[in-house]
Structure 1
Amino acid sequence: MLDVRRVLLLVEASDRGSLTAAAEALGITPSAASQQMSRLESEVGQPLLHRLPRGVQLTDAGRALAERGHAIRRELRGAQADLESLAQLDRGTLRLGSFPTASASLLPLALTRFSRKHPAMHTTVRSALLAELLELLHTGEIELALLWDYEWNRVDDDSMEIEHLLDDPTVLVVPANSELVDEPEISLADLAGQEWIIRADNHPVAEVLRRSCRLAGFEPGISYESHDYQEAQAMVAAGLGIAIAPRLALTNRRHDVRLVNFATDVPAPTRRILLARMANRTPTPAAATMAEIVQAAAAKFADSNLHRTQLGTVRRT
């Protein structure tokens, strides 16, 4: 196998007419250049240069190898340009993973900021359940993923770098005209006689409701099973029951429902919003930049939630 660096030395000697000039162009000494050229000739088994009193002249073998070397140099320069372009985020693809609630609230802000700063980058997003997102990270099909967990199902994987972005509290969703809106504070135990709108298909928020109600000493009465948060809000507005939901899931709240915070002394479960990547893979420049943007977007949402809570000593939004 030929040493590419020595072939490039031959190319420079061909272009510049001397080994001394080639050595200067490559930042090595003339002595080192002469030694490397001798080794290349030994590798190919025949002379490549005629040493003249002033400069060098390529042999037929030298010209043939130098011609190939010019093509190699062009490809290497092209590769360097590609890498610089990727480092400057002037090209390439960023592969993200997310889940529906984040995709409807936090992620759009991050994507908009990223695309404005780096319009030449192409971004793809895979929306999936938690287990699938973890698998996509492991297989390398995505570089970064927004994840969530609760106290009883922590994402705990030593092969991943996991950052806690923000806490997403559980809130109560009631009709706009509900008498519950006027309560100074509410605990789940106060809601034992209510009918509930629950998420269908063993959705995580359904588990949150059942766990919370059992801790409060009752089983929730279910009046409707919804398949998304907009449908749940509609059924709440229609008076079919009340519901709970993570606050981020209610970024687009209907005008005819209200959100009520639970009493702070007996809080409903809060989920964590996380950003994850594989620990054994150095993040690409695009992934590193997006991670910073997601962190800033999450801080904005966290401040917004805190502001609502601080203003919400009346516990209504």
Structure 2
Amino acid sequence: MLNDDSQSLFDIRRLALLVEVVEQGSITSAAELMMYTPSAVSQQLRKLEQEVGQPLLNRRSRGVVPTEAGQVLAGHARKIVEQMLAAQADLAQIAGLKRGSLAVGTFPTLAGSFLPLVIRVFKKRYPAIGLSVRSARFDELVSDLQSGVTGLCLLWDYPWNRFQDDAIRVTEVFQESTVLLVSRSHPLADRDEVRMEELSKESWIVRAEAHPVVEVLKRSAHDAGFEPSIGFLANDYQEAQAMVSVGMGVAMVPRTAVALQHPDVKVISLGDDAPLRRVLLAQRQDKVYAPAEVAFQSTLMELANKHAGDYL
């Protein structure tokens, strides 16, 4: 603790100037970097020397070198300046998380399963952030992200069609398997696992409008040596489950699609050959990420690590 004969706390700006002068070896160079005039730097350093009570710099014809006291004080000053910068950054982040808004894009199956878990935790931690979520089709999600309508979005892809866009950075959140849905009265309902080769005679319920799950089914069926027979086109997965429950056919769906499972539907594993879908967090490459976006990503990945096994 400083005694009554000591100077009060040093001025942080003068300490920063000292560090820069020592590192540059020149008052003029330091002044240019710090956007001061050389005379202003010299004046501030003289005041610092008065505070210290001893010389800090030896002036020479080609610059300056620190005295022993200057070297010691500059060493401490570097740590102080770094800590102050870190404090400013932390305070700026906290301020950013106490106001503002965040728009997130997602797709329906995730909005009806995993994402609400993330939103619940995020809103509890950051109640002042206005969070909006838009569920849309894949091309709309990408367009919204590129145009800045959303700050980040959740996408998906399969091994045969990996998402790639040089302007967008993606992070894998988790992988989910594809499962088989049958009615509780189906002959296979007592099984825990079925292979695609056993399903060649089944009638299939799929999503309408060329939904990607149709390609998943056809690829899996072709690999198993048969052409699937489509018996019903559903508008959404709840409708698909309802049709499965009454014996209209069987269905292949990503596991998140049965987060709300129909009571008369049995979910069966398709084994190691089941197609895996990646769930991705997408962000623009050229964007400076706001504190709220960083906080959402952190919460998302934390929950993903906790629940990833639920979807395999």
Aligned to 2:121: 113
Q: 2:198 pairs with 164, 187, 190, which one?
A: 190
Matches within 5 A, 1:232-311: 232-264=240-272, 267-306=273-312
Matches within 5 A, 1:163-242: 163-183=171-191, 185-242=193-250
Shift of 1:283: 0.9
Shift of 1:184: 5.9
Residue identity matched to 1:271? R
8 A contact 1:85–1:91 mirrored in 2: no
1:190 and 1:145 mapped to 2: Cα distance?
38
2:291 and 2:208 mapped to 1: Cα distance?
40
Secondary structure of residue in 1 paired with 2:271? coil
1:163 and 1:25 mapped to 2: Cα distance?
40
Residues 198, 300 of structure 1: CA spacing in aligned structure 2 closer, same or farther, 3 A cutoff?
Answer: same
2:166 is the alignment partner of 1:155: no
CA-based RMSD of the aligned residues comes to 2.5
What is the TM-score normalised by the length of structure 2?
0.69
8 A contact 2:175–2:311 mirrored in 1: no
Q: Residues 286-313 of structure 1: CA distance to partner in whole angstroms, max 9, x if unpaired?
A: 000000111122223312235xxxxxxx
8 A contact 1:173–1:245 mirrored in 2: yes
Residue identity matched to 2:218? R
Aligned to 2:74: none
Secondary structure of residue in 2 paired with 1:131? helix
Shift of 1:26: 8.2
Residue identity matched to 1:214? H
2:151 is the alignment partner of 1:143: yes
Shift of 1:171: 0.1
Residues 25, 218 of structure 1: CA spacing in aligned structure 2 closer, same or farther, 3 A cutoff?
Answer: closer
8 A contact 1:95–1:143 mirrored in 2: yes
1:299 and 1:249 mapped to 2: Cα distance?
19
Shift of 1:268: 2.3
Shift of 1:251: 0.4
Q: Residues 207-263 of structure 1: CA distance to partner in whole angstroms, max 9, x if unpaired?
A: 111121122111111111101111100000001100010001110001111100013
Gaps of 5+ in 1: 1-23, 36-79, 307-317
8 A contact 1:169–1:270 mirrored in 2: yes
Q: Residues 146-198 of structure 1: CA distance to partner in whole angstroms, max 9, x if unpaired?
A: 10001122111222221111111000000112221234641111100011111
Residues 197, 139 of structure 1: CA spacing in aligned structure 2 closer, same or farther, 3 A cutoff?
Answer: same
1:304 and 1:188 mapped to 2: Cα distance?
22
Residues 191, 279 of structure 1: CA spacing in aligned structure 2 closer, same or farther, 3 A cutoff?
Answer: same
1:145 and 1:194 mapped to 2: Cα distance?
36
Q: Residues 84-106 of structure 1: CA distance to partner in whole angstroms, max 9, x if unpaired?
A: 48635111001111010111111
Q: 1:93 pairs with 86, 98, 101, which one?
A: 101
1:127 and 1:109 mapped to 2: Cα distance?
16
Aligned to 2:111: 103
Aligned to 1:315: none
Gaps of 5+ in 2: 1-10, 18-35, 44-87
1:213 and 1:151 mapped to 2: Cα distance?
16
Residue identity matched to 2:157? D
1:108 and 1:157 mapped to 2: Cα distance?
27
1:301 and 1:85 mapped to 2: Cα distance?
28
Residue identity matched to 1:140? G
Residue identity matched to 1:164? E
Residues 291, 182 of structure 1: CA spacing in aligned structure 2 closer, same or farther, 3 A cutoff?
Answer: same
2:136 is the alignment partner of 1:128: yes
